Structures are given as C-alpha cells and as structure tokens.
Amino acid sequence: MATNRSGPNLSRIAASLGVSVATVSNALSGKGRVSAELGERIRATATALGYVPSQAGRALRTGRSGVLGLVLPDISNPLFPQIAQAMEYAASIAGYGVLIADSRGDVARQTEAINRLLERGVDGMIIVPRRGTRIADIGCPVAVVDTPSTPGNTVSADHWQGGRQIASYLCDLGHRDFLLLGNNPASNVQNDRIGGIKSALDPSARVEVLWIESIEERHGTGCLLGLADKAREGFTAFAAISDLAALRALTELQRAGVTVPGSVSVTGFDDLVWSPVVTPALTTMRMDMATIAKVAIAALVNAIEKRPPGESFEDDPLSGISRIVTATVSRVPMQLIVRQSSGPARPTKTDPSDGEPSE
C-alpha cells in the first residue's frame, strides 16, 4: 500500500504555521530546540494534515530499517498464524514492520530463514525455535519465544502452569486415570506441559504418555493410536498436549463409539480457531498471545533503540556474546477454557462403546 512521502507533508505543515521545514522536522523527531508550545502546535497540525513519516528518511537518520524479522517453525500449524498476527500488531504499535519466515520444522531451513532476514537488514528478530534447538548469537537483538525452561527464552506462555491447571481441573472432576497424548518428545513446550500435568497429580493416579510421532514411525502416518483400547483399559482423561492432538483423539474415539464426554474426557492446549466449533467443543488451555507479543516486542525494541543512531551491530565491542534480549516478564499464565469435551469421571468401570456402566 502506498504511503505519503514526508517531504511535501513537512512543507505543508511548515507553510501552514509560517515556520521552516527544519523546525517542523526537529519538532516531529524530538531533536533541536523547539519550544513546547510550538512543538505541540506542529504535532497537532501534522495530525490534522495526516502526516505520515517517511520510512526511508527514518532509516537514513537512524541507521535502522524499522523492520523486525519473525521466524516461525511451521506456518501450516494453525497456532503460528495466530502468533504472527499478535506479533505484527504489537510491532506496528511500536512503529515497526514485520517480515515473516518459515523454517518448516527443519534446523537447516531455520538457519537459512535467519540469514535471509539478516540480509534484508532487519533491526532485530523474534524467533519461535524449531523444537529442540537453541538460538546462538546471530548478529542482531533476538527475542526467543518458546518455554521458560528453554535456555535464553525471552518470554512465553507458562506451559508448566498450564499443565498443572488442566490436571487440577480434571482431578476435580474425579479423574484418576490419565492418558497424555503428545506429538514429539523433543519438544521443550510439550515436555513442560506434560511435566506440569504430572506434578499436579496424586501419586496414586495412573498416568501413561503416548507420543504420536513414535507410534507413526512404527505403523505409518495417520494410523490409529489405539485410543479405544485405552478407554477399555479404564483411562478416562485423555489430556492432549495440543489442540491438533486433541482433535485427532476426539475423532478416533468417536469413530470407535466411545462417547465424549460421556465415557471419557478429552482436553487440549492452544485454543485454536476451530476448537469452539468442533463437536463436542474442546476444553483447552489458552495462551495470552497479545501479552506475550507485547512483552517480546517491547524488549526487542528497547535493545534496538538503546544503540546510538548509525552504529552497526558489527561494531559492537561485545560481538560474539549472545544478543538474546531479556524481558521484565518471562512467563505469562495460561487460561483454562472449559467447554463440552470434558465432564465428570464415570463412577464405575464402563464399556466405552455404549456409555453404560458395566455389571
């Protein structure tokens, strides 16, 4: 979308007030000696005339592009467009644009994505790392958004707390037999969620963890996970570590005739856009992405703008030391969203295919 150039706008503001273009420029940039009263008049006139600062002019003055990079691990996962939207909005409020790159879950592509953004002159980056990877120094400020247990994490949802909260909720419903359904054991986020769940359970509770990728390695992509058998074994709480895994559990259980939540409860994480509209609507844990994005962008912009205008990061005497930024808040609580896929545990053993107590 085209934007107005700054030159004519500055001239119009100057002409309307009978001052020089230099005075207008100084007032709008906060530089030079301009009285408070005149500065306020200039800013008010600029707003009335719809003044739009020139990004190119800003770059020349400050040595900064006004653009941030955002590296995501898998844009096909419906969670990550939600993250991108929150980051772009927070960046725009701070006066920055965003370029997005997708690592497609591959370590080499993640490195390539980072290098491409550096070549385009971004001032800093937000990186949601591919599972199991750590972000080294890349030559510009970086905000890492993963999980609090990840070394160098800037800010993220408190996944451990989210696990504890969903476990406590299910325990209050009387569940004592838990099947935890994750995707890949290399994920720090999923391990923290599982760790949180386990930490909130009574030692007498029965807990089993199934990893989808491990099952698929043996039986093929999209295979049945054996969840109906698990229901027959007495598991009543199917706590998936993502909404995608929860949807798979819902589908498999219902096709096998296991009623949800009549015989078993199914819960997820992330509150994806379709989670309220599946049948039954999914009980899940929601991340406060607006707050996470606001905190990450604020920390990143603060690191960028502390550097004197025109000084490059290559000139940094601390070159080689990680530039991963820290934030005032490192973990943001998750929120329990209760819907129809969860309910009280059955008081007696049941045949999950008919939803009635067994004799």
Pairs from 222-226 (Cβ < 8 Å, separation ≥ 24): 224/252, 225/181, 225/249, 225/252
Mean pLDDT value across residues 14-29? 81
Reply yes or no on whether the pLDDT at 2 is more than 50. Answer: no
The model's pLDDT over 292-333, given as tens digits with 9 standing for 90+, comes to 999 999 999 999 988 655 555 444 443 433 588 999 999 999
Which of 237, 201, 196, 234 minimizes the C-alpha distance to 344? 237
Q: Tell me the two tokens of residue 104.
A: 């497609």
Centroid of chain to Cα 307: 27
In whole numbers, what is the pLDDT of the chain averaged over residues? Answer: 86
Rg over alpha carbons for the chain, rounded to the nearest Å, is: 26
The model's pLDDT over 207-252, given as tens digits with 9 standing for 90+, comes to 999 999 999 999 999 999 999 999 999 999 999 999 999 999 999 9
Reply yes or no on whether the pLDDT at 155 is more than 60. Answer: yes
Reply yes or no on whether the pLDDT at 179 is more than 50. Answer: yes
Q: Tell me the two tokens of residue 91.
A: 């960046």
Reply yes or no on whether the pLDDT at 5 is more than 80. Answer: no
pLDDT of residue 353: 56
Reply yes or no on whether the pLDDT at 191 is more than 70. Answer: yes
Percent pLDDT > 90 in the chain is 61
Residues in Cβ contact with 25 at an 8 Å cutoff, skipping those fewer than 6 apart: 10, 31, 32
Question: Which of 45-59, 71-85, 341-355 is most confident?
Answer: 71-85
pLDDT of residue 359: 38
Report how far residue 155's alpha carbon sits from residue 145's, in angstroms, rounded to the nearest whole number. Answer: 6
**Which residue has tokens 């995608």?**
244
Range scoring the smallest mean pLDDT among 73-77, 85-89, 306-310: 306-310
DSSP-H helix ranges across the chain: 6-17, 21-29, 36-48, 55-62, 79-93, 107-119, 159-172, 188-199, 212-219, 227-232, 243-255, 289-306
Helix axes 36-48, 6-17, angle to 10 degrees: 120
Mean pLDDT value across residues 36-60? 74
Strand 356-357, strand 237-240: pairing: unpaired
Mean pLDDT value across residues 55-59? 53
Residues in Cβ contact with 345 at an 8 Å cutoff, skipping those fewer than 6 apart: 173, 174, 175, 176, 177, 236, 237, 265
pLDDT of residue 40: 87
Which of 160, 117, 106, 120 minimizes the C-alpha distance to 142? 117
Cis peptide before 344 (omega within 30 of 0): no
pLDDT of residue 30: 65
Report how far residue 353's alpha carbon sits from residue 340's, in angstroms, rounded to the nearest whole number. Answer: 19
pLDDT of residue 329: 94
pLDDT of residue 352: 57
Reply yes or no on whether the pLDDT at 56 is more than 60. Answer: no
Cis peptide before 276 (omega within 30 of 0): no
Reply yes or no on whether the pLDDT at 134 is more than 90. Answer: no
Helix axes 36-48, 21-29, angle to 10 degrees: 90
Contact 265, 170 (CB under 8 A): yes
Of the two residues 28 and 195, the one the predictor is more confident about is 195
Centroid of chain to Cα 273: 14
pLDDT of residue 101: 94
Report the SS3 class of residue 169. helix
Report how far residue 251's alpha carbon sits from residue 241's, in angstroms, rounded to the nearest whole number. Answer: 16
Range scoring the smallest mean pLDDT among 19-28, 177-186, 266-275, 310-319: 310-319
Q: What is the pTM of this model?
A: 0.78
